[in-house]
């Protein structure tokens, strides 16, 4: 009888052993999970950035369509503003007055998290948007903006819709020595040309600017 009870106890003990994890098994499992997370996080981040990149292109195109409608109503001239960077009160008023652009978020890149360039009622009221607009009277005095845009481009630069179709109209903002809003592309800039094409550069914008 005692031998039988010992046998049953041994079987139960083995059953308990098989039902748990050893410390080594737990450590191995945790290590595998850590490796999987380290692999997946960049992929998830990249997918999120690609979605914002596509949304940015859509917003730029919508601003361009507003510019085009404005030009059709104003002898082929798009809005003419003071300078390419902020404040862009004139542009916002020109496109909003006749509802060429109805959604204020359209003026903001979803990837731009800088407090003075992301969407907020305060930034909109101040005329601060995420984008550069290239139909303007004079060069900017902002020293953070590329010397190329400040000194090499001829200003004033007044656009007409019948100009070279590859002429830049509006783009992501870009500053010397700083990454652009699209974090996976250090120099990545979305831009729209007069033919309505929405493109992206992966290198310095100055080489493609027209």
Structural domain includes residue 7: no
Domains contained in the chain, number = 1
Structural domain includes residue 104: yes
Predicted local distance difference test score (pLDDT) of residue 44: 54
Residue of 22 and 152 predicted with greater confidence: 152
Q: Provide the token pair at 74.
A: 């104003």
Structural domain includes residue 16: no
157 has pLDDT over 80: yes
Structural domain includes residue 26: no
Predicted local distance difference test score (pLDDT) of residue 2: 45
pLDDT averaged over every residue in the chain? 86
- Per-residue pLDDT reduced to its tens digit, 172-186: 999 988 888 887 776
Predicted local distance difference test score (pLDDT) of residue 22: 83
160 has pLDDT over 70: yes
CA distance 51 to 59: 13
Predicted local distance difference test score (pLDDT) of residue 39: 64
Which helix H or strand E contains 171, and what residues bound it?
A: strand 168-172
Structural domain includes residue 4: no
Predicted local distance difference test score (pLDDT) of residue 24: 79
Structural domain includes residue 45: no
34 has pLDDT over 90: no
Predicted local distance difference test score (pLDDT) of residue 133: 98
Q: Bridge partners of 157?
A: 136
Pairing of β 81-83 and β 136-138? parallel
Predicted local distance difference test score (pLDDT) of residue 36: 64
Predicted local distance difference test score (pLDDT) of residue 7: 44
18 pLDDT band, cuts 50/70/90, is: low
CA distance 190 to 201: 7
Answer whether 134's CB lies under 8 Å from 79's CB. no
Tell me the residue range of the domain where 102 lies.
55-207
Structural domain includes residue 11: no
Structural domain includes residue 136: yes
Answer whether 82's CB lies under 8 Å from 136's CB. yes
**Mean pLDDT value of segment 51-58:** 91
């Amino acid at each position: 009888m005692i031998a039988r009870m010992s046998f049953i106890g041994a079987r139960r003990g083995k059953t308990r052993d098989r039902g748990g994890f050893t410390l080594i098994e737990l450590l191995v499992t945790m290590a595998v999970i850590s490796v999987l997370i380290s692999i997946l996080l960049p992929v998830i981040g990249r997918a999120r950035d690609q979605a914002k990149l596509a949304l940015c292109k859509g917003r730029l195109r919508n601003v361009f369509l507003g510019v085009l409608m404005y030009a059709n109503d104003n002898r082929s001239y798009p809005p003419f503003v003071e300078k390419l960077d902020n404040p862009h009160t004139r542009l916002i008023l020109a496109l909003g007055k006749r509802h060429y652009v109805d959604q204020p978020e359209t003026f903001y890149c979803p990837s731009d998290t800088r407090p003075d360039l992301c969407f907020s009622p305060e930034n909109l009221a101040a005329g601060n948007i995420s984008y550069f607009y290239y139909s303007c009277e004079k060069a900017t005095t902002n020293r953070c903006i590329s010397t190329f845009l400040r000194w090499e481009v001829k200003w004033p630069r007044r656009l007409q819709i019948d100009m070279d179709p590859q002429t830049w109209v509006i783009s992501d903002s870009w500053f010397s020595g700083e990454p652009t809003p699209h974090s996976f592309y250090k120099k990545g800039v979305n831009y729209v040309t007069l033919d309505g094409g929405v493109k992206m550069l992966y290198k310095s914008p100055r080489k493609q600017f027209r």
